[in-house]
Amino acid sequence: MSMRNRLLAASHYPLRLAMRIGQPLGLTSSNALRVLLYHDIVPRDRARFAAHIRWLARSWTFVSIEQFAAMVSGETPVRGRNVFLTFDDGFASNRVVAEEILTPLGIRALFFVVSDFVSQVDRESAREFIAHRIHPGSRVAEMPAHLYNMGWSDLEALLEQGHSVGAHTQTHPRLSAIASDLERGREIVQSADTLATRLGVPIEHFAYPFGDVASFSADALAMARGRFRFVYSGLRGDNGTGVSPFALRRESVAANDPPAVVDALIEGLADFRYAKARHQLDEWARPRSSC
């Protein structure tokens, strides 16, 4: 277990106890809307992923994309402890866990995909794309054999099962490093239009690559809010307290994290570390005054 996991797991039970005691006194809120963010699910971790879902289902309600959208938009109040499931990048393992674990349980997830990655037609070129674009700095030879992309037919199968697809740019760039409006438009707007045309569904949800505040910008958010109804970051935090639909928070977790760690993260144990970044994102997402 890593030091991060040891620290989180050690503080898990005191935290739960404090929250249970605090709730009747009105010290903590019993209402929450959290979004989990997974990436690739390694085949040997499938059982662990299923254990996460079972563990969470004991005290959290998995919400659909429609329920999530209604809560974030303020159309329905956030009552109880709600969690929404998302996956980034579009790895082939995502379809497997959707079909084997989520669909049978009636849990519907949102899959953010990179349009050029979806278009890769063989595994070797997909692995090169991962090494150069999704995990820049890594080497193709380091990529495990199971790591490649979902193609268009995989996304169609997910949609048929009631899951949803969101946009995650065309080539997975760091959007803050793009100075040209034309290039930014290709990554944010045109890639989503490509998904919508190829899949025949509206694409209203967008997650920017890498998820940290240094990888996004005011210009990129302004363009995204003109094309999408919802913009997701990788910053930890609750979405149940009037958060802008253009500054959504997510809990990044891995399938091999112990359930106690996932639980500690979703309870907000690490939220404080992201306060400054959330503030920056909220500033960018503030409604512009019309003048």
Per-residue mark of binding to Zn ion, 44-63 (x: CB under 5 A):
--------------------
User: How far apart, in whole angstroms, are the C-alpha atoms of residue 117 and residue 130?
Assistant: 8
Minimum distance between the CB of residue 74 and Zn ion, rounded to whole angstroms? 28
**Nearer Cβ to Zn ion (39/163):** 39
Candidates 14-22, 62-70, 204-212, 242-250 — which segment interacts with Zn ion by CB under 5 A? 204-212
Task: Give the amino acid at 13.
Answer: Y
Question: Which residue, among 87, 142, 153, 146, has the nearest Cα to 118 in the 3D structure?
Answer: 153
Q: What is the DSSP letter of 153?
A: H
**Nearer Cβ to Zn ion (155/264):** 155
**Nearer Cβ to Zn ion (209/268):** 209
> How many beta carbons lie within 10 A of that of residue 198, not counting itself?
15
Q: 261 with 276: CB under 8 angstroms?
A: no
Minimum distance between the CB of residue 129 and Zn ion, rounded to whole angstroms? 12
Lookup: tokens for 275: 């306060």
DSSP string, 87-122: EEE-BHHHHHHIIIIIHHHT---EEEE-HHHHT--S
- Residues contacting Zn ion: total by CB under 5 A: 3
**Nearer Cβ to Zn ion (26/137):** 137
Containing H/E element for 47? helix 46-57
**Nearer Cβ to Zn ion (166/258):** 166
Minimum distance between the CB of residue 61 and Zn ion, rounded to whole angstroms? 27
Minimum distance between the CB of residue 167 and Zn ion, rounded to whole angstroms? 11
Query: Binder to Zn ion among 90, 173, 209, 258 (CB under 5 A)?
Result: 209
Q: 215 with 57: CB under 8 angstroms?
A: no
Q: Phi and psi at residue 248, in whole multiples of 5°? A: -75, 145
Minimum distance between the CB of residue 174 and Zn ion, rounded to whole angstroms? 11
Minimum distance between the CB of residue 172 and Zn ion, rounded to whole angstroms? 6
Per-residue mark of binding to Zn ion, 70-109 (x: CB under 5 A):
------------------xx--------------------
129 burial type by CB count under 10 A (0-12 exposed, 13-18 middle, 19+ buried)? buried
**Nearer Cβ to Zn ion (37/158):** 37
What residues make contact with Zn ion under the rule CB under 5 A? Answer: 88-89, 209
